[in-house]
Amino acid sequence: MVPYTHKLPALEVLQSKILTQEELIKPLIFWRFKSQKIVFTNGCFDILHRGHIDYLAKASDMGAKLIVGVNSDASVKRLGKANSRPLQDEVTRAMIIASLHFVSAVILFDEDTPLELISFVKPEVLVKGADYDANDTNPQSKKYIVGSDIVRASGGEVRTLEYLEGFSTTNIEQKISKS
């Protein structure tokens, strides 16, 4: 038995999971070559909480590789969240998501929606929270899942997950402001 002599520094491992679209090409090719089902989801992930962990863990169980799109700071501002949001910068939020062992890759996106990113990744499974409707085909509807048409057209599936009751960034922010 050969002794284990080298270990990558933990921060280097985390940083290696945060990729640009161009850097994601090789892992995508490799994962597809190995017939590993790719799951994609996205969000702001401003303050990581138990609801996020539950959601992301369940999303990762839907395939072999989980890619998480994280809204850039500018993208979060355009979403119309509270003026204080994002509470943490995009690099911090991406690093926190990358620290989860079941997340394979994290990619920041600056657009208002992850449509361009979904078109690029073409995941086998697209996942969103249950406040969306996986069957809604009207892009004008608030429940429509952006990119669902692209995923379905390439033979993939669109799924929703129930949120863990009582856990949200807004609830945490309100609780902090009251104390």
CATH label of the domain that carries residue 140: 3.40.50.620
pLDDT confidence band for 109 (50 / 70 / 90): very high
Bridge partners, residue 161, by sequence: 129
pLDDT confidence band for 177 (50 / 70 / 90): confident
| Confidence check: pLDDT of 3 > 70 | no
Residue 64 lies in a domain: yes
Residue 145 CA from chain centroid, whole number:
14
Q: How far is CA 63 from CA 23, 57, 161, 170, in A?
A: 21, 11, 14, 29
Spatial contact of 119 and 147, defined as CB atoms under 8 Å apart? yes
Helix (H, G, I), strand (E, B) or coil at 114: coil
Mean pLDDT across 151-160: 97
pLDDT confidence band for 31 (50 / 70 / 90): very high
Residue 3 lies in a domain: no
Report how many domains make up the chain: 1
Whether pTM exceeds 0.85? yes
- 13-38 core/surface letters (b: 16 or more CB in 10 A; e: else): ebeebbbeeeebeebbeebeeeebbb
Residue 125 lies in a domain: yes
Residue 5 lies in a domain: no
For 56-67, the pLDDT digits (tens) are 999 999 999 999
Q: How far is CA 173 from CA 45, 82, 122, 166, in A?
A: 13, 10, 34, 13
